[in-house]
Amino acid sequence: MIWLRNWAFMLVFYSGSVPIVVSVPISALFGSRAVIVHSTIWTRFHRWCARVILGVHVRIEGTRPTEPAFYACKHQAMFETLELQRMLDGPAIVLKRELADIPAWGWAARRYGAIVVDREASAKAMRSMMREATAAKATGRSILIFPEGTRVSPGEHPPLKPGFAGLYRALKMPTVPIACDSGLVWPKKGLKRPGVITFRFGEVVPPGLPREEAEERVHAAMNALD
Those residues of the chain that have pLDDT short of 50 are: none
Ranges of each domain in the chain:
57-222
Query: What is the phi-psi region of residue 202: left when phi exceeds 0, alpha when psi lies from -120 to 50, beta otherwise?
Result: beta
Give first-to-last CA distance, the chain, whole Å.
28
Give pLDDT tens digits for 140-161: 999 999 999 889 999 999 999 9
Which residues, including other chains, have CB under 8 Å from residue 120's CB and lie 6 or more apart? Answer: none
pTM over 0.95: no
Using DSSP's 3-state secondary structure scheme, residue 177 falls into strand
Q: Where are the beta strands (DSSP E) in the chain?
A: 56-61, 70-73, 92-96, 115-117, 143-145, 175-180, 195-201
Give pLDDT tens digits for 25-37: 788 778 778 888 9
In angstroms, the CA 192 to CA 225 distance is 19
Other Cβ atoms closer than 10 A to 111: 21
| Contact criterion met (CB below 8 Å) for 180 and 144 | no
Q: Where are the alpha helices (DSSP H) in the chain?
A: 2-22, 24-28, 32-49, 78-87, 97-100, 105-112, 123-138, 162-171, 211-222
